[in-house]
Amino acid sequence: MTETSGVDALITETADRLFTQICDHEAVQNAEAVGAAPEIWAAFAETGFPWISIAEDHGGSGGTLLDSLEVLRLVGYHAAPIPAAETGMLGGWLLANSGHEIPEGPVTVLPNGTTNITASVSGAQVTLAGTCVRVPWARMAERIAVLVEIDGRNMVASVDPNDCVIQPMTNMAGEPRDTVCFDAVTAPAAPSAPGVDPAAFRFRGALSRAALMAGAIEKMSQLTVSYTNDRVQFGRPVARFQAVQQHLVWGAQDAALARMAAETAGREANRGSAFFEIAAAKLIANQAAARATKACHQAHGAMGMTQEYPLHHYSRRLWSWRKEYGGDAEWGRWLGNAAVSQGAEGLYPLITGGSSVLS
């Protein structure tokens, strides 16, 4: 596992070692069959990793956003079946930035916002009504952090999932993406800190997926190099055939491109405004996932289409994550408008300068 700039090598090593031990092929397969992986979560929580980037005085583990993105990259690399992004850089971020207590267990969020929800406020309580779909791991969460705009003010409610009706659903990788029904649920709520708003949340969610996807594409690319060098046909490893080499190269390029994009976006987000970089990183991850899954599956032949061989843990996650927190059209449109607004003279300065020329 090569080091990542700006991140303590110890974090990379420790997380990689942990997931290597607890997230082997069978463990991931089993989590999908059962619909949860409490033992994997428990081992992960033991290290404090879920709460990296949340300040210690807020009940977090300290560390930077870069550190937590590195852990997410490894979650993707090992297909770890846990709500890592939701508990830390998304849900934990919402709770910590509105003065809520960080619970000991997993936290989840509403990835697609609260447009389906009606909310009213009364003192330090909000009442929520409506149904939200594709809520990650709601079934095992201790709190749902709900960011909702009431009377022009952004509030975060810390909802107890036991007060909701939760219908188990999954994404294409079998990861829990539950339907949560809020039937006039009342929960403690507080205004969020400046900058913690639905737009910032959307970008942050996209950044979390870009990191997960970069890890998954890298793993897929490595599996493919390894498999095609072992698999012998016509008397030689299939990796020696030029037609197969093209798939290896394309997979490796997309792994490099997605990781570069996610890390660069993370670096900018850790400093301040990173709208351009995050939008570009998610769009790149989406398209890289589409190309790399195709190339890696093709190079694996029929073996890649089985449950027995692990490629599907990564490819199915990538197909799912591609659509979470913004698909190609959403980020393509955002970036296209940004580009056109710069005009012809400003087009290249946007590519080299990114968010710094937009602000």
Partner 1 sequence: MRFTPTELTEEELGLQQQVRDFLQEELPPGSHEPCLGMAANKDKAFSLKMAERGWVGMALPKEWGGSDRTAVDRFIVVEEMLRWGAPVGHHWVADRQTGNVILKFGTGEQRERFLPAICRGELGFSIGMSEPDSGSDLASVSTKAEPTTGGWIVNGTKIWTSGAHENDWFVCLLRTSPMEDGNKHAGLSQILVDLKSPGLEISPIPFLDGSHHFNEVTFNEVFVPDINVVGDLGMGWHQNTTEMAYERGGPDRWLSPFSTVEQLLREAKGTELEETVADLFGELVARWWGIRNLSLSVARLIDTGDAPSIESSLVKEMGTRYEQEVVEKLVHLIDLEYSPDSDSLFERLLAQCVVTFPGNTIRGGTIEILRSVASKGLKGLPA
Which residues in this chain contact partner 1 in the complex, by CB under 8 A? 2, 5, 222-223, 225-226, 229, 239, 242, 245-246, 248-249, 252-253, 256-257, 259-261, 263-264, 267, 276-277, 279-281, 283-284, 287, 328, 331-340, 343-345, 347-348, 350-352, 354
Question: Cβ 350 to partner 1, closest distance in Å?
Answer: 6
Q: Which is nearer to partner 1, 116 or 229 (CB)?
A: 229
Q: Are 117 and 156 in contact (CB under 8 A)?
A: no
Q: Which is nearer to partner 1, 124 or 249 (CB)?
A: 249
Question: Cβ 89 to partner 1, closest distance in Å?
Answer: 19
Helices 275-300, 198-230: axis angle to 10 degrees equals 30
Q: What are phi and psi of 54, to 5 degrees?
A: -105, 130
Q: Are 238 and 279 in contact (CB under 8 A)?
A: no
Question: Cβ 341 to partner 1, closest distance in Å?
Answer: 9
Question: Cβ 10 to partner 1, closest distance in Å?
Answer: 18
Q: How far apart are CA 181 and CA 131, in angstroms?
A: 4
Question: Cβ 287 to partner 1, closest distance in Å?
Answer: 7
Q: How far apart are CA 113 and CA 133, in angstroms?
A: 10
Question: Cβ 172 to partner 1, closest distance in Å?
Answer: 24
Q: Which is nearer to partner 1, 118 or 341 (CB)?
A: 341
Q: What are phi and psi of 231, to 5 degrees?
A: -75, 120
Hey, what are 162's tokens? 């036991």
Q: Which is nearer to partner 1, 8 or 328 (CB)?
A: 328
Q: Which is nearer to partner 1, 211 or 280 (CB)?
A: 280
Q: Which is nearer to partner 1, 115 or 341 (CB)?
A: 341
Question: Cβ 57 to partner 1, closest distance in Å?
Answer: 31
Displacement of CA 166 from its chain's centroid (Å): 22
Q: How far apart are CA 261 and CA 137, in angstroms?
A: 27
Q: Which is nearer to partner 1, 153 or 333 (CB)?
A: 333
